[in-house]
């Protein structure tokens, strides 16, 4: 691989990069725990130092919270705009906060005392996401060293609240405004199928959740006196949940699939080529069988197909033993994952109509919507995905397969706020224990990631067609 | 009504009986609240005084709890066995404990400061059940005064834990053994349809409850990563609950109706003659509509037909907002009300087979049975019911209609432990607010009840055929 731009650079600084990452990983930047607020702040300062060291300018630790009042955890921003206003501007996204470490007793060593063994780094945050942020910054530093400049303008935004659901991220983007304007977002916070099966995420599902409160009676009724002839709220809720899917596992909401786009033949072929070991999949999920939409593979079901899951269902007595009541109220929580081109608003309308049709008259129903994230997809035919594919192929020797992520993250907010496509250069592996004890990072993946991030900058620099029209810039 | 045995007696003591009842009602014998344990004990002593005053002998306050250790609330027992070993022995059952008073702010006055207004007594416990116990004791006293003896042997057992589910009652009956042996049980703890529509309960439903714990995965799964292809415990539970009834409202458990006995033509005719005001029924239940087994009336559905109700259904997230999980566990609690000749054991077997058939393979299921009370019915053609009907008709001027109670109480334990039929002389009214604020008792019903209880002793005394064979007694 000595033809790669950063091969030589990397050979000279692996130890230093690893030592730096280890120092960063010693900071327990757990955003979910207020007791770690100062650690999250230290982590932000550390990240700012990495940005300056990489050659970025205007580096700043950004307070977050309502109006930027600092009640949120700080983000970090840096930029290199030397490519000029005519050139492509790429915004790199990552996060420096980490997940809590519970259950601590399942860790093989202290989560914030990193260890390296057999080419594997172990520590909370090593793969999700400090290692992958470092990978991007190392590539920027390397390309600047090798070429004296970058082929594109680069803005780097490293969030501090990703692990708690990015509560202030949209507000931050709005406040940053033009400062984060870009043509393309590059996210490094995902996984690949395997070291020898490189892959890239090309989409994330959207999400809209509903809370359905049902009331069938003024109060719980005595089942001896009334049972058998009065409506039972638990049964009404159960029947509603049971009606959510037909017997082929398809969501029964009228019109739910109207806007669902089928995969392009290329993407469908790539998805079908992803290796799938059902036994390993079952073991990892800890389930006894797979289910879902008939005629669709597990990857389709979790990535490219919309779903409706019951998140919670609560009604009546839940204590020890039993109680002779007919429950009067029930609460049903559903989460609907959306795929292109479904939109939360249209799905909400269809859902409300479905509920109205399925709940018996005489039952009080209140449907509340929670959240609403549109699905995000960058077509595999998009020039930015082509550029990313070439960069990955140059390093791994194989073109990447395309994956759809079933989740919904801040990437959608980025895409929406910045109006830019999103691509994913993620080098962690499925076995890297994101959010779990013994989080790990395969160092060979990290080093290949640095090389690929460098190649990506080069590839993107050759993509004039990606530059969008913007104020003061005529566009291509 | 001057031809009735106790008319003159009652004319001479209404004020005294009412004053006595008011004194008893001042004692807050709330068995559910340990803070009232000494009040329950005082109530038992008061009741023992009433028994002695009525002319009963061997009156005793009986400690309850495991082995009679006194950790339970005391019962009270008294007897009059002067009719001799050849005569019928009747056991009268009632209870001296009362329900809690919450919500207190809905009471028009203090629950334990009885008031009388327009012929209605108001206080916690006045109708359920102190008033009806006093009614029976007053009748015993009156008949003894008038006749110098009773036409039958009478044993009176007044429980102190009925309102908390009679946890030590079976143990008490077992310890009392021969002391409570009898030919017939008379319960006074129920209601009539209306003052001008006398009725009597002839059966109570049985009860068997199940707790079904389901596990579909080792732990809750992220709905973004896994949603759409892994089993969802909440959905499995919901589908199980939804499968419990067919679309005609019949319980779908295979064999569930095999042992259900249809009503005799006489009882069916009586049940159909019970007045039913749907609007009032809906208002009282506080529901918007009625449901249940197709082709059956509300009285049948709540009394003479078996039912399956969901008592509780809990799975997944129940807090504010939403959470992106696929729940791994669910708990479903069901209560099945049984009617003659269903038996808890057979129903349990059928239920377990049904669960096994309806839960997908690969889901862990644990079914626990709670309780098991067989249904209780005394045929309307039984001589004891005939005697009761005559007694009621003599006082009310109309023969009683026959009702089935949907509930399941200590009466079944009595019937089972004593091997005796159970009849119900209950004079409370549906509007008497059992278990609710502003419990009331129509005094004209109380006085008619005293007269009827007296007539019942006379009628039973003429029923040689009811005396059962027993040790030392050849039987009829």
Provide the domain count of chain B.
2
Check whether B356 has a pLDDT greater than 90.
yes
Chain B partners of A237 at a C-beta cutoff of 8 Å?
238, 313
Q: From the DSSP assignment, how many helices (H) and strands (E) are in chain A?
A: 12, 18
CB-based contact (8 Å) between B294 and chain A?
A: no
The answer to whether residues B238 and B364 belong to one domain is yes
Residue A2 has pLDDT above 50, yes or no: no
- In this structure, the answer to whether residues B27 and B132 fall within a common structural domain is yes
Query: Which of B373, B398, B420 is a domain's end point?
Result: B373
The per-residue pLDDT for B1 is 44
How many angstroms separate the CA atoms of B290 and B273, rounded?
Answer: 19
Q: Residue A391 is encoded by which pair of tokens?
A: 């960069």
Contacts across the A-B interface (CB distance below 8 Å): 278
A124 and A252 in a single domain? The answer is: no
Q: Does A290 touch chain B (CB under 8 A)?
A: yes
CATH of the domain at B254: 3.30.70.360
**Residue to substitute from B227, B246, B295, interface A, most A β-carbons within 10 A:** B227
Instruction: Please give the model's pTM, rounded to 2 decimal places.
Output: 0.85
A229-267 tens-digit pLDDT: 999 999 999 999 999 999 999 999 999 999 999 999 999
A320 vs A299: which has the higher pLDDT: A299
- Rounded to whole angstroms, the Cα distance separating A81 from A150 reads 9
- The SS3 call for residue B176 is helix
Note whether B182 and B326 are same-domain residues.
no
Tell me what the mean pLDDT of segment A147-155 comes to.
97
pLDDT for B373: 85
Distance CA B331, CA B312 (A): 8
**Shared domain check, B335 and B407:** no
- Same domain as A420, residue A398: yes
Contact B218 A286 (CB under 8 A): yes
φ/ψ (deg, to 5) at A181? -60, 140
Asked if residue B458 is part of any domain, the answer here is yes
Question: Is B225 within 8 Å of chain A by CB?
Answer: yes
Candidate from B239, B241, B318 with C-beta closest to A312:
B318
B222 has a chain A CB within 8 A of its CB: yes
Give, for B442, the enclosing helix (H) or strand (E): strand B440-442
More confidently predicted of A133 and B465: A133
Considering A343, A371, A399, which residue would you say is the last residue of a domain?
A: A371
Does a structural domain hold residue B452? yes
pLDDT at position B422:
96
* Interface probe with A: pick from B218, B277, B313, most Cβ of A within 10 Å: B313
Residues B100 and B220 in one domain: no
pLDDT, position B473: 45
Residue B251 in contact with partner chain A when CB distance is under 8 A: no
Q: CB B223 to CB A302 under 8 A?
A: no
Mean pLDDT within B27-36: 94
Same domain, A130 and A53: yes
Instruction: Give CA–CA dist B23/B21, Å, rounded.
Output: 5
**Model pLDDT, residue A431:** 87
Task: List C-alpha distances in Å: A165 to A73, A162, B70.
Answer: 12, 5, 57
| Domain end point (choices A336, A371, A406) | A371
Q: Is residue B289 part of a domain?
A: no
Note whether A358 and B238 are within 8 A (CB).
Answer: no
The residues that bridge with B92 in the sheet, in sequence order, are B156, B186
Same domain for A226 and A341?
A: yes
Tell me the backbone φ, ψ of residue A201, rounded to 5 degrees: -80, 135
A341 found inside a domain: yes
pLDDT tens track for B306-327: 999 999 999 999 988 888 789 9
| pLDDT reported for residue A169 | 94
Q: Could B289 and A231 be called an inter-chain contact, meaning their C-beta atoms sit closer than 8 Å?
A: yes
Residue A320: pLDDT band by 50, 70, 90 thresholds?
Answer: confident
Flag whether residue A164 sits within 8 Å of chain B, measured between CB atoms.
no
Distance from CA of B267 to the nearest CA of A (A): 19
Q: What is the pLDDT of residue A1?
A: 44
Min mean pLDDT across A21-30, B261-270, B387-396 is at: B261-270
Given this model, what pLDDT does residue B474 score?
A: 41
Q: pLDDT tens, B195-204?
A: 999 999 999 9
CB atoms within 10 A of CB A113: 12
pLDDT, tens digit, 9 for 90 and up, residues A377-411: 999 999 999 999 999 999 999 999 999 888 777 88
How is residue A400 annotated by DSSP?
Answer: P
Question: What dihedral angle (degrees, nearest 10) is formed by the CA atoms of B27, B28, B32, B33?
Answer: -110
Closest CA to A263 of A273, A249, A255, A254: A273
Q: What is the pLDDT of residue B331?
A: 97
Measured in angstroms, the CA of A202 and the nearest CA of chain B are apart by: 15
Contact assignment for B290 to A315 by CB distance below 8 Å: no
Question: Where does residue A273 fall: left (phi above 0), alpha (psi -120 to 50 degrees), or beta otherwise?
Answer: alpha
CB atoms within 10 A of CB B231: 25
Give the domain extent around A53. 7-204+375-466
Per-residue pLDDT averaged across B160-175, rounded? 92
Quickly state the pLDDT bin for B472 (edges 50, 70, 90).
Answer: very low
CA B111 to CA A3: how far, in whole Å? 92
Residue B469 has pLDDT above 70, yes or no: no
Tell whether B274 is covered by a domain: no
Most confident of the following: A321-325, A461-465, B260-264: B260-264
Residues B12 and B157 in one domain: yes
B273-298 residue pLDDT tens: 999 999 999 998 999 999 999 999 99
The answer to whether residue B244 neighbours chain A at the CB level (below 8 Å) is: yes
CB contact under 8 Å between B318 and A316, yes or no, is no
Domain identity same for B12 and B152? yes
ipTM score for this prediction: 0.85
Residue B209: the pLDDT is 93
User: CB contact, 8 Å: A302 with chain B?
Assistant: yes
Residue A269 lies in a domain: no
Are A162 and A56 found together in one domain?
yes
Task: For residue A278, tell me if it sits in a domain.
Answer: no
Q: How far apart are the C-alpha atoms of B134 and B46, rounded to whole Å?
A: 11
For chain A, what is the mean pLDDT? 93
Asked if pLDDT for residue A413 goes beyond 50, the answer is: yes
pLDDT in tens, A93-142: 999 999 889 888 889 999 999 999 999 999 999 999 999 999 999 999 99
* Residue A299 lies inside a defined structural domain of this protein: no
pLDDT value of position B470: 57
Whether chain B has a CB inside 8 Å of the CB on A207: the answer is yes
Phi, psi dihedral angles at A221 (to 5 degrees): -110, 150
pLDDT digits 0-9 by tens, A30-54: 998 999 999 999 999 999 999 999 9
Out of B228, B235, B240, closest to residue A302 by CB: B228
Domain containing residue A43: CATH number: 3.40.630.10
- Decide if A363 and B288 are in contact by the 8 Å CB cutoff: yes
What is the C-alpha separation between B317 and B308, in angstroms, rounded? 26
Residue of A219, A307, A327 with shortest CB distance to B228: A307
């Amino acid at each position: 691989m000595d033809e790669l731009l950063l091969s030589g650079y990397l050979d000279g600084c692996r130890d230093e990069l690893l030592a730096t990452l280890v120092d960063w990983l010693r900071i327990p930047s757990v955003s979910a725990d207020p007791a770690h607020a100062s650690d999250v702040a230290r982590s932000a300062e550390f990240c700012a130092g990495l940005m300056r060291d990489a050659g970025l300018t205007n580096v700043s630790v950004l307070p977050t919270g309502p109006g930027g009042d600092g009640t949120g955890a700080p983000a970090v921003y840096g930029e290199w705009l030397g490519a000029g206003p005519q050139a492509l501007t790429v915004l790199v996204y990552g996060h420096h906060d980490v997940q809590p470490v519970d259950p601590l007793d399942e860790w093989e060593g202290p989560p914030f005392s990193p260890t390296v063994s057999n080419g594997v780094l172990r520590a909370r945050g090593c793969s999700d996401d400090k290692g992958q942020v470092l990978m991007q910054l190392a590539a920027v530093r390397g390309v600047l060293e090798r070429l004296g400049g970058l082929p594109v303008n680069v803005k780097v935004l490293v969030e501090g609240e990703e692990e708690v659901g990015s509560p202030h991220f949209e507000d931050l983007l709005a406040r940053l405004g033009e400062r984060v304007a870009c043509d393309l977002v590059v996210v490094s916070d995902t996984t690949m199928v395997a070291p020898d099966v490189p892959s890239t995420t090309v989409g994330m599902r959207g999400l809209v959740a509903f809370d359905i409160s049902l009331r069938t009676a003024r109060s719980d009724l005595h089942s001896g006196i009334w049972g058998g002839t009065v409506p039972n709220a638990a049964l009404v809720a159960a029947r509603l949940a049971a009606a959510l899917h037909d017997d082929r596992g398809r969501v029964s909401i009228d019109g739910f699939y109207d806007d669902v786009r089928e995969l392009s033949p290329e993407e469908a072929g790539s998805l079908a080529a992803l290796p799938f070991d059902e036994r390993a999949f079952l073991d990892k999920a800890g389930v006894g069988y797979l289910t879902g939409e008939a005629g669709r593979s597990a990857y389709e079901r979790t990535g490219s197909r919309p779903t409706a899951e019951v998140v919670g269902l609560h009604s009546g007595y839940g204590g020890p033993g039993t109680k002779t009541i007919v429950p009067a109220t029930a609460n049903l929580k559903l989460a609907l994952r959306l795929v292109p081109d479904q939109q939360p608003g249209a799905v909400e309308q269809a859902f409300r109509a479905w509920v109205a049709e399925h709940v018996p008259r005489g039952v009080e129903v209140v449907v509340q919507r929670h959240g609403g994230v549109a699905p995000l997809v960058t077509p595999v035919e998009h020039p930015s995905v082509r550029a990313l594919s070439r960069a990955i192929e140059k390093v791994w020797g194989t073109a990447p397969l395309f994956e759809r992520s079933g989740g919904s993250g801040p990437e959608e907010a980025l895409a929406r706020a910045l109006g830019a496509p999103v691509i994913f250069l993620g080098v962690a592996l499925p076995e890297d224990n994101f959010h779990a004890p013994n989080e790990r990072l395969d160092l060979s993946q990290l080093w290949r990631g640095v090389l690929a991030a460098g190649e990506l900058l080069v590839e993107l620099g050759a993509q004039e067609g990606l530059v969008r029209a913007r104020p003061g810039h005529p566009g291509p």
